[in-house]
Chains A and B, each alone.
Chain A
Amino acid sequence: MFSHPDRAAFLPLAKLPSLVAELMARGYRCLGPAKENGAIVMRELESPEGLQRGLQAEQAPGRYRLTSDPHDRYFAWANGPQAIKPQTFAPQESLWRAERDEAGGLRFVPELPAVVKRAVIGVRACDLAALAVQDAHFLRTGRRDAQYAQRREALFLVAVQCAEPAATCFCASTGDGPTPAFGYDLSLAELKDGFVVVSGSDEGQAVAAALDLPAASAQQIEAAQRQGEAAAAAQTRSLPGRKLRDVLMSRLEHPRWDAVAARCLACGNCTAVCPTCFCHAEADVPALDGRTSDHLRTWDSCFGEAHGHLHGFNVRPDIRTRYRQWLTHKLATWHDQFGRSGCVGCGRCIAWCPVGIDLTEEVAALVEVGPP
Chain B
Amino acid sequence: MLDAGPPHAATVVARVQESPTIFTLQLRFDDAAAQAAYRFAPGQFNMLYLYGAGEVPVSIMSDPEERDVIGHAIRAQGRVTQGLARLRPGDKVGVRGPFGRGWPLQEMSGCDVVLVTGGLGCAPVVSVIHYVLRRRERFGKLVIVQGVKHAEDLIWHEQYARWAALPDTQVLVAASEGGPLWPWHVGRVTDLFALASFDPACAVAMMCGPEGMMRSAADNLLARGLPRTRLYLSMERNMQCAVGRCGHCQFGGAFVCRDGPVFQWGEVETLLAHKGF
Residues on A lying within 8 angstroms of B by beta carbon are 95-96, 98, 100, 104-110, 137-138, 141-143, 145-146, 249, 252-253, 278-284, 286, 290, 293, 295, 297, 300, 302, 306-312, 315-316, 318, 320-321, 324-325, 328-329, 333-337
Contacts and interface: CB of A to CB of B under 8 A. Distances in A.
A17 B6 CA distance: 44
B54 A283 contact: yes
Given A106-B92, A295-B6, A310-B238, A316 B276 contact: yes
B20 interface: no
Interface stretch (B131-139, B151-159, B243-251): B243-251
A249 B245 CA distance: 23
A286 B52 contact: yes
Interface of B: 4-9, 30, 49, 51-55, 75, 77-78, 81, 91-94, 236-238, 240-241, 243-248, 250, 252-254, 258, 270, 274-277
B54 to A, nearest CB: 4
B275 A321 contact: yes
A284 B5 contact: no
A281 B246 CA distance: 7
Nearest to A301: B247
Contacts of A295: 6, 54-55
B36 to A, nearest CB: 19
Contact of B253 (A253, A315, A324, A337): A337
B246 A279 contact: yes
Nearest to A148: B245
Given A100-B51, A284-B52, A329-B250, A310 B245 contact: no
B51 A286 contact: yes
Given A107-B9, A281-B240, A293 B51 contact: yes
Contacts of B248: 279, 281, 300, 307-308
B78 to A, nearest CB: 6
Contacts of B93: 106
Contacts of A96: 5-7
Contacts of B258: 142
A316 B92 CA distance: 34
**Residue among B244, B245, B246 having the largest count of chain A Cβ atoms under 10 Å:** B245
